[in-house]
C-alpha cells in the first residue's frame, strides 16, 4: 500500500491553522465588543473649605459728645449741681451704651441707651458738693459698642467755695472758764443772699443757741450757751447748723475741750521686749488748770506694770513704772492698761503695748 505522506502533512497543517484561527475568534467573543460608557452625571464641585454665609453689614456706630469736660464753676458746700452732655450717633450702625461708670459724689442718668444713626440723646450728671472748700475733678467712663472708642471718658470740674462764712471755724473750750470761754458764732452771706437758720445741734446737746427760723438776714450773731456738765462728757464733737441759703444748706463747726488732766505719754510702746526682763519708763500726770489733786491708787489690768516711785511735781505727779513682759508663748506682742485713780475725780487710763524681740538667742 502506497502511503501519500505529502497529503497527510498538508491536512495536518491546515487543521492546526484552523484551530489557531478558531481560538483567536473565541477570545474575541469572550472579550465581547467594546462597551459604550454610560452618560456621565453633572459633576458636583465640593469646596475645599466650607464657606460661611455672607454677613449682613449692620453698619458701624460712632459715639460723639458735644463736649468732654463740664465745669460746674463755683458751687457752695453741700449743694447739688446738674450738668448735661449731648450724645450723637454719627455712624451708620445702631449705637448701644452698655454702662456708665459711677464716681464719687456723681450720679449719671441716660435719656436712653440705644441710638439709631443720626439720633441724639442726653447724659445728665448730678454732683453734690462736699462740705470742705476744695477743687474737684471727677471722671465718668461711658461704655458702648463703638469699636473705635468702647470706653469714652468725660470729666467734671467744680470749685467748692463757702457761700456763708463762719467765725470762728473751730472752737477751743475750757472746763474751768465761764461758759467754757465759748465765743459768739457769726454767720455771714458772702453773696448777699439772705438766709434763715433752721436748726442748731451739737454733740451730746452740750452747746445750744437761740434761733428763729422765721428770720431771714445776710448776717447772724449767735450767742452759744454751754452746759458744763454735758461738756465734761463730750470733750470733742461738732456743731451742725442748718441753713436755707440756696448755695449753702448747712455748716459744721468742730470743737474740742482742754481736758482737766493730761497724761504724758498718752500711750506706752516698747520694742525688743524680752520675757521677764523689766523695762523702765516715766509717766507724768498734770492738771491743765493748775489745780491741786491727789492720787488715790495705781493699778495694772494684767499685772505687768508696777509703780517703782511716785513724785509730786508742779501741777501733777511723776511716776517711774516697771513693765515686765510676760512669757511670749509664741505671741509677737503683749498689751496692758495702767489705771490712775484721782481722788474724788477722774480715773485715767494709759494703754501699754510691747513687741517681743525677734532676735534668736545664740546656742552655747
Q: Which residue has the higher pLDDT, 194 or 362?
A: 194
C-beta pairs of 271-275 under 8 Å, 24+ apart in sequence: 271/354, 271/355, 272/355, 272/356, 272/357, 272/359, 273/323, 273/325, 273/334, 273/354, 273/355, 273/356, 273/357, 274/325, 274/356, 274/357, 275/325, 275/326, 275/327, 275/328, 275/356
Task: Give 4-31 pLDDT, tens digit per residue.
Answer: 444 444 444 454 444 444 434 333 333 3
Residues 6+ apart with CB under 8 A from 109: 123, 124, 126
Going along the chain from its start, the domains and CATH numbers come out as 63-160 (2.60.40.10), 164-258 (2.60.40.10), 261-356 (2.60.40.10)
pLDDT class for 131, splitting at 50, 70, 90? low
Per-residue pLDDT at 44? 43
Task: Give 239-283 pLDDT, tens digit per residue.
Answer: 999 999 988 888 899 999 999 999 999 999 999 999 999 999 999
Q: Quickly count: other Cβ atoms within 10 Å of residue 70's Cβ.
A: 22
pLDDT class for 358, splitting at 50, 70, 90? confident
Is residue 267 within 8 A of residue 353, CB to CB? The reply is: yes
The span from the CA of 55 to the CA of 219, in Å, is 72
Task: Give 146-168 pLDDT, tens digit per residue.
Answer: 999 999 999 999 998 888 999 99
Per-residue pLDDT at 77? 78
The span from the CA of 295 to the CA of 293, in Å, is 7
Per-residue pLDDT at 359? 63
Task: Give 188-208 pLDDT, tens digit per residue.
Answer: 999 899 999 999 999 999 999
Amino acid at each position: 500500500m502506497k502511503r501519500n505522506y505529502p497529503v497527510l502533512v498538508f491536512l495536518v497543517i491546515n487543521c492546526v491553522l484552523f484551530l489557531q484561527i478558531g481560538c483567536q475568534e473565541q477570545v474575541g467573543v469572550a472579550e465581547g465588543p467594546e462597551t459604550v460608557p454610560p452618560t456621565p452625571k453633572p459633576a458636583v464641585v465640593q469646596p475645599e473649605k466650607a464657606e460661611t454665609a455672607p454677613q449682613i453689614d449692620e453698619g458701624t456706630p460712632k459715639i460723639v459728645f458735644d463736649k468732654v469736660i463740664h465745669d460746674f464753676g463755683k458751687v457752695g458746700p453741700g449743694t447739688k449741681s446738674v450738668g448735661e452732655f449731648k450724645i450723637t450717633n454719627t455712624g451708620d450702625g445702631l449705637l448701644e451704651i452698655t454702662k456708665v461708670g459711677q464716681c464719687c459724689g456723681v450720679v449719671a442718668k441716660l435719656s436712653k441707651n440705644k441710638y439709631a444713626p443720626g439720633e441724639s440723646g442726653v447724659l445728665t450728671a448730678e454732683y453734690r458738693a462736699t462740705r470742705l472748700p476744695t477743687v474737684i475733678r471727677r471722671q465718668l467712663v461711658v461704655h458702648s459698642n463703638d469699636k473705635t472708642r468702647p470706653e469714652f471718658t468725660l470729666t467734671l470740674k467744680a470749685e467748692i467755695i463757702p457761700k456763708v462764712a463762719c467765725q470762728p471755724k473751730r472752737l477751743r473750750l475750757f472746763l474751768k472758764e465761764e461758759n467754757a470761754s465759748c465765743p459768739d458764732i457769726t454767720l455771714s452771706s458772702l453773696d448777699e443772699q439772705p438766709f434763715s437758720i433752721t436748726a442748731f445741734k451739737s454733740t451730746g446737746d452740750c452747746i445750744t443757741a437761740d434761733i428763729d427760723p422765721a428770720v431771714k438776714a445776710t448776717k447772724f450773731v449767735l450767742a452759744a450757751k454751754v452746759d458744763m456738765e454735758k461738756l465734761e462728757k463730750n470733750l470733742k464733737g461738732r456743731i451742725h447748723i442748718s441753713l436755707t441759703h440756696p448755695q449753702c444748706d448747712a455748716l459744721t463747726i468742730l470743737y474740742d475741750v482742754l481736758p482737766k488732766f493730761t497724761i504724758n505719754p498718752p500711750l506706752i510702746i516698747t520694742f525688743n521686749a524680752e520675757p521677764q526682763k523689766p523695762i523702765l519708763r516715766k509717766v507724768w500726770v498734770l492738771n491743765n488748770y493748775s489745780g491741786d489733786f491727789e492720787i488715790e491708787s495705781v493699778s495694772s489690768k494684767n499685772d505687768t506694770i508696777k509703780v517703782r516711785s511716785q513724785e509730786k511735781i508742779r501741777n501733777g505727779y511723776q511716776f517711774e513704772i516697771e513693765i515686765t513682759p510676760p512669757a511670749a508663748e509664741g505671741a509677737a506682742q503683749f498689751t496692758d492698761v495702767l489705771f490712775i485713780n484721782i481722788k474724788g475725780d477722774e480715773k485715767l487710763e494709759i494703754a501699754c503695748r510691747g513687741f517681743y524681740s525677734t532676735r534668736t538667742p545664740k546656742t552655747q
